[in-house]
Amino acid sequence: MRKPIIGGNWKMNRGTPAETKEMLKKLLPLVKKITNVDIVIAPPFTALISAIDLVKKSNIRIGAQNMYFEEKGAFTGEVSPKFLKDIGVTYVILGHSERRNIFKESDELVNQKLKKALAMKINPIVCIGEHLEEREAGKTKEIIQNQIDKTFKDLTKEEIIKTVIAYEPIWAIGTGKTATPEQAEEIHVFIREILASKFDKQTSELVRIQYGGSIKPTNAKELFEKENIDGGLVGGASLEADSLLDIIKAADETTI
Ligand code: PEP
């Protein structure tokens, strides 16, 4: 019922015009026949225009890794959603844990960005997730509940349905430690329960919830087979066409 979505977050690891061209030229023919999975690549800002040019008329969409919530003004160093929209960006990752932890983005700021992305019709992928100490202290659900309350504050049903949620336990990001499919599914079910209580059950079942955190070709299938995991947000393994392809194929297989 929900179309899986695979997002490749290149972070600041890849993104010169040459690297972007090399990767996308390799990936494009490999994913040509994939129709059951939404594929989004999020390169750094400086590579967005070349990436959009390369994927024209294909089934790959290009996303930004961040944006500001104002369209214009004295905000040195920020990027306007209007500029992103104008060059053809259709997705944006918001509230990634690196933005939250290193750049101190709050839930309130992510909420402002989310509302702006929705208003501008840029598809948001919003990240939430707990730190290792919080999991070990048995606080995962409390943290997730709090992040959802604040990050998705005042959204309408129509808006939450258009939002992709990425559950990314911070201890699993870039560490090689993946959540087990059971651990991930437990939180995805919990997220859906929260959405059902805030909106209604039907709405909660329409929202796509990705898992993110050290997804690799070797663990992708078992994660995506879980009923409430609708694809993944992939960092390291999205840098090479072959590994990303295997992950996309794993998502595609769950739709058959
Ligand atoms: C991410 O950055 O969102 C991520 C999940 O990274 P990795 O796949 O490298 O853990």
- CA-proximal residue: ligand 1, atom 2 (nearest): 235
Give the pLDDT of residue 150. Answer: 98
Phi, psi of 38 (to 5 degrees): -80, 130
What CA–CA distance (Å, rounded) separates 98 from 220? 22
CATH number at residue 131: 3.20.20.70
The ligand 1 atom at the shortest distance from the C-alpha of residue 127 is 3
pLDDT of residue 79: 98
What separation in Å is there between the alpha carbon of 96 and the centre of ligand 1? 10
Asked if residues 51 and 62 have their Cβ atoms less than 8 Å apart, the reply is yes
Q: How many residues does the chain have?
A: 256
Which tokens in the block code for residue 87? 């060059």
Choosing from 40, 96, 173 the residue with most ligand 1 atoms within 8 A of its CB, the one to mutate for a pocket test is 173
- One pLDDT digit (tens) per residue for the chain, 256 residues: 899 999 999 999 999 999 999 999 999 999 999 999 999 999 999 999 999 999 999 999 999 999 999 999 999 999 999 999 999 999 999 999 999 999 999 999 999 999 999 999 999 999 999 999 999 999 999 999 999 999 999 999 999 999 999 999 999 998 988 899 999 999 999 999 999 999 999 999 999 999 999 999 999 999 999 999 999 999 999 999 999 999 999 999 999 8
The residue whose CB lies within 8 Å of the most ligand 1 atoms, and thus the one to mutate among 168, 216, 223, is 168
Q: Which domain holds residue 233?
A: 5-253
Q: For position 26, what pLDDT does the model report?
A: 98
The SS3 call for residue 234 is strand
Q: Are 34 and 252 in contact (CB under 8 A)?
A: yes
Q: What is the dihedral of CA 195, 197, 199, 202, to 10 degrees?
A: 80
Catalytic, 96? Answer yes
Judged by DSSP in three states, 3 sits in coil
Residues 6 or more apart in contact with residue 140 via CB below 8 angstroms: 130, 134, 169, 187
Locate 67 and state its tokens: 């944006």
Query: Do residues 191 and 167 lie in contact, with contact meaning Cβ atoms separated by under 8 Å?
Result: yes
Which amino acid type is present at position 15? G
- State the total domains in the chain: 1
- pTM equals 0.97
